[in-house]
Amino acid sequence: MPLVKRSIEPRHLCHTVLPRGIKNELECVTNVSLANVIRQLSSLSKYAEDLFGELFNEAHSFSFRVNSLQERVDRLSISVTQLDPKEEELSLQDITMRKAFRSSTIQDQQLFSRQSLPIPLQETFDLCEQPPPLNILTPYRDDGKEGLKFYTNPSYFFDLWREKMLQDTEDKRKEKRKQKVRGNDRTLETEKVPRAPHDRKKEWQKLALGAELAEDNSEEALKEREANGSATYHDRSGAPMYLEGMDGPFSLAALPYSQMNELLNRPGDRMYTRPHDPPPLPPMHPLGDIKPPSMISSSSGFSDSRPQSPAQMHGFNSNTPPPPPPPLPPPPPPLPSMSSSGPRGTPPPPIPPLPVQQQTPAIPPPPAPLQIAPGVLHPAPPPVAPPLHLSSPARLQQILDKGPPPHQSDGTVLPPPPPPPLPLPGARISSPCPPGPPPVPSFLSGAVGSPASHSSGKKHSASLPPISDARSVLLEAIRKGIQLRKVEEQREQEAAKHARVGNDVATILSRRIAVEYSDSEDESEFDEGDWME
């Protein structure tokens, strides 16, 4: 049944009490009815005026928008005619250094608050009985809350939700930090190992009598490694292997040695400890099955299962190394630019589905991480979605060979992450420092801080050799960003504690949403995109 928005006043024409002493009652009733009809007409006209007023206001706002659109179109048409194809800047720096395109996202918020109540409904509401005047007790309260809030609080659920969002973002930040720490440790460990197993493998292959024997040897070698706990080799082989074909020996093999220890120590977490390097979740199989759930859950885990977060910490470890997630939902423009800059053989995969779902991000941790990962993590080449079936050691070699090229291109790879993270960090950092920092300044500082905020990966990238001089400025910015980030972390904590939210709530809230989703997806390295109306 529809809600009655406007009800015409005298509902019953003749339901009145007739005065006594009237001779001609019929005429009296007629006259009373006619008078009520007139009153009805007046209320009808009042509501009609109100109705047309609302429609007019909406149409008026549209006319403004249309006019501005018209102006923009005109300007665009002029500028397009002035476009000179020869002036196109084609330098690689430009493509990579340019900020990613972000359309302005206007989100509808506070749709059903007291302020947005239409006037006729407000009048109906005013007709109701007022709540008891508990607010006169407010000056006598110790905790400073309004007295009426205990009786009826229209913003109760909203406040509840806001607190929960705050809490969630903080938790995720902490987890991220922990993961970064662990990621740092792991990357340090893994960095030391890389080349040795590879040589051994080459020796094995040289000794191989045939393809099959070579495979057997590689498998045996892997098993030996497994027994010895040299996980890194497994990682390298496992990750590039894209696991679908290679399950058995590699699924366990994927565990780094340190992780294996942790595994042994924490039986409950066994399911989730895999990840480690291959940031991108190679859809692994079942023992390999553990991996995809862990990877997927790790990426989407925050949103899905919070209580498992400690368990998932391990899962995220793998994700953090690739860290500097181009947090933003790699919108198409940046993607092509990034993909063009990065000579990845693996196409920047199904990133489009990103923004929408949190579970798909597990697979995507897209190109950005891909591009970052190689330099940072190690030659685990962009294990993107494409499940490559690696069965032959030859392919292994190919994959391993891809490692070196990523190193070389690492320098070029780095820039892409900074631009994409820039916008996000601006939002992130501004969210904790709500009212003050207007988006731009925080944005700028966030831009600087973003590279650092995005992870240990960047730190590692800073420490890694292949950074050209052209990137030295970026390096300095990253280092400054690290410091900036610490300061901003403190600020964030303070802000969160003080909860100065006020009614800038809408913006802060939505930023929290962005942060939360970016946090949760950071593991999968994506940004929320589809919070549109």
Query: C-beta of 70: minimal distance to another protein in Å?
Result: 10
Residues 414-453, one symbol each (x = binds another protein by CB under 8 A, - = not), give --------xx--xx-----------xx--x----------
Query: C-beta of 29: minimal distance to another protein in Å?
Result: 8
C-alpha 217: how far from its chain's center?
Answer: 44
* CA-to-CA dists, residue 288 to 219, 251, 294, 337, angstroms: 16, 5, 10, 33
Query: C-beta of 409: minimal distance to another protein in Å?
Result: 22
What is the spatial distance between Cα 509 and Cα 431, in angstroms, rounded to a whole number? 8
Of 249 and 419, nearer to another protein (C-beta) is 419
Of 247 and 516, nearer to another protein (C-beta) is 516
Of 77 and 153, nearer to another protein (C-beta) is 77
Residues 15-54, one symbol each (x = binds another protein by CB under 8 A, - = not), give ---------x-xx-xx--xx--x--xx--x--xx--x---
Q: Applying CB under 8 A, which of residues 62, 125, 150, 156 lies at the interface with another protein?
A: 62
Instruction: For residue 235, give every residue at least 6 positions away whose Cβ sits within 8 Å of its Cβ, in sequence order, or none.
Output: 190, 253, 254, 256, 276, 277, 278, 380
Q: Look up residue 478 and give its amino acid.
A: I
Query: C-beta of 236: minimal distance to another protein in Å?
Result: 37
Query: C-beta of 175: minimal distance to another protein in Å?
Result: 25
CA dihedral 302, 304, 305, 311 (to 10 degrees): -50
Residues 76-115, one symbol each (x = binds another protein by CB under 8 A, - = not), give x--xx--x-----x--------xx-xxxxxxxxx------
The number of residues in the chain equals 533
Place of tokens 């970026």: 474
Query: C-beta of 172: minimal distance to another protein in Å?
Result: 20
Query: C-beta of 140: minimal distance to another protein in Å?
Result: 37
Of 18 and 440, nearer to another protein (C-beta) is 440
Contact 423, 100 (CB under 8 A): yes
Of 83 and 209, nearer to another protein (C-beta) is 83
Nearest-Å Rg of the Cα atoms of the chain is 31
Binding residues with another protein: total (CB under 8 A): 55
Residue-wise over 480-514: b if at least 16 C-beta within 10 A, else e?
ebbebbeebbeebeebbeeeebeeebebbbbbbbb
Q: Applying CB under 8 A, which of residues 18, 22, 73, 117 lies at the interface with another protein?
A: 73
Of 31 and 463, nearer to another protein (C-beta) is 31
What is the spatial distance between Cα 487 and Cα 391, in angstroms, rounded to a whole number? 49
Q: Collapsing DSSP states into helix, strand and coil, what is residue 116?
A: helix
What is the spatial distance between Cα 272 and Cα 255, in angstroms, rounded to a whole number? 11
Tell which phi-psi region holds residue 120, choosing left (phi > 0), alpha (psi between -120 and 50) or beta. Answer: alpha
Instruction: For residue 4, give every residue at least 6 positions away whose Cβ sits within 8 Å of its Cβ, in sequence order, or none.
Output: none
Element (H, E) at 313: helix 309-319
Of 24 and 265, nearer to another protein (C-beta) is 24
Q: Applying CB under 8 A, which of residues 58, 146, 163, 212 lies at the interface with another protein?
A: 58
* CA-to-CA dists, residue 498 to 12, 144, 177, 433, 502, angstroms: 56, 15, 22, 10, 11
Q: Which of residues 483-512 bind another protein (CB under 8 A)?
A: 506-507, 510-511
Structure tokens at 276: 């480690």
Of 230 and 450, nearer to another protein (C-beta) is 450
Place of tokens 């008078």: 35
Of 8 and 470, nearer to another protein (C-beta) is 8
Query: C-beta of 84: minimal distance to another protein in Å?
Result: 12
Instruction: Point out which span in 72-80, 154-162, 208-216, 495-503 binds another protein (CB under 8 A).
Output: 72-80
Structure tokens at 41: 């007409």
Q: Applying CB under 8 A, which of residues 72, 114, 141, 306 lies at the interface with another protein?
A: 72
Q: Which of residues 310-349 bind another protein (CB under 8 A)?
A: 333
Query: C-beta of 335: minimal distance to another protein in Å?
Result: 14
CA dihedral 528, 281, 378, 196 (to 10 degrees): 170
Query: C-beta of 88: minimal distance to another protein in Å?
Result: 9
* CA-to-CA dists, residue 346 to 295, 379, 399, angstroms: 19, 14, 11
Q: Is 530 a binder of another protein (CB under 8 A)?
A: no
What is the spatial distance between Cα 158 and Cα 161, in angstroms, rounded to a whole number? 5
Of 55 and 470, nearer to another protein (C-beta) is 55
Taking Cα atoms as reference points, which of 425, 428, 414, 303 lies closest to residue 369?
Answer: 414
Query: C-beta of 248: minimal distance to another protein in Å?
Result: 47
Q: Which of residues 271-310 bind another protein (CB under 8 A)?
A: none
Give contact residues for another protein (rule: CB under 8 A). Answer: 8, 13, 24, 26-27, 29-30, 33-34, 37, 40-41, 44, 47-48, 51, 55, 58-59, 62, 65-66, 69, 72-73, 76, 79-80, 83, 89, 98-99, 101-109, 333, 422-423, 426-427, 439-440, 443, 506-507, 510-511, 514, 533
